[in-house]
Amino acid sequence: MRVSIAQMEIVSGDVDNNYKLGMYLIQKAKNQHSDLVLLPEVWTTGFAFKKLGDLSKTTPEILNDIKKISYGIVVCGTYVVKRNNKIYNIFYAIYNGKVIFEYTKSMLFSVTGEDKYFDAGSINQKNTFDFNNTRFGVSICYELRFPEFFRKSAIDGATIHLHPAIWPINRIEHWKTLTRARSIENQFYLLAVNGCKMSGKWRLSGNSTIYDPWGEVLVNLQNAVGISTIDIDTNLIENTRKNLPSLEDSHIFYR
């Protein structure tokens, strides 16, 4: 399986420019024959909290455009969505013109007031989906600090985990440490995608990374806008879990 991570500058509230850049990166991944591309959290809008209601109105049309470009590639990322007068941060996996999976962010970052502007998804919702004989796990940004989200997907059979985020530069060491730890402890590939440069008042830390099941860095985009595409070696997942069966041993807690 070939996968891509797309790192971009997300200008808060500037849907037009964010959309153009994101679509360009998706097309680039398609040109590289990627099976799946992951974009950052709320990549079309950023966290313009006081404008979320208006910004959410742009999401349906953008999702329709994503559906049109998604033939032959799974396009993954999160969006500001309004439902029943509530605002959610929803991850969509879109393939061949259809939404094949959605997941709503459930852990909201109270430090920035995210919990005052968004409604949370259920803590019990499913966070895995299947594509091309592979099971993918999903979590979003702040959920990186809660290892149970990652273990839940691993126990459910995920071998590749997707983690879009908007993560600031002042906590970059947490980003590097925790993303690598989640990969090591669950023995899966982890695609951790962040924004870069400025987004509203936050300078983002970039460092979108792909880790292998041993926690080795395969790709790191540093602070550059762009994509990186690699082929996943599924044999490495099996070999890692066979030679160091910590994930299998952890099942004792879930029986």
Helix and strand counts by DSSP (H, E) for the chain: 8, 14
**Burial (CB count within 10 angstroms: exposed 0-12, middle 13-18, buried 19+), residue 147:** middle
User: Residue 110 and residue 133: Cα distance in Å, rounded?
Assistant: 37
Provide the 3-class DSSP secondary structure of residue 107.
Answer: coil
Catalytic residue among 9, 76, 102, 105: 105
Catalytic residue among 41, 102, 114, 143: 41
Q: Does 105 participate in catalysis according to the annotation? A: yes
**Strands 189-193, 209-211: parallel, antiparallel or unpaired by DSSP?**
antiparallel
**Burial (CB count within 10 angstroms: exposed 0-12, middle 13-18, buried 19+), residue 31:** exposed
Give 78's DSSP letter.
E
In this structure, what token pair is assigned to residue 86? 């509530």
Residue linked to tokens 């962040």: 194
In this structure, what token pair is assigned to residue 5? 């991570």
Catalytic residue among 9, 102, 141, 152: 141
Give 35's DSSP letter.
S
Please, are residues 183 and 160 in contact by the beta-carbon 8 Å criterion? no
Q: Write out the H or E segment, with its range, that includes residue 123.
A: none
User: Residue 172 and residue 16: Cα distance in Å, rounded?
Assistant: 28
Active site residues: 41, 105, 141
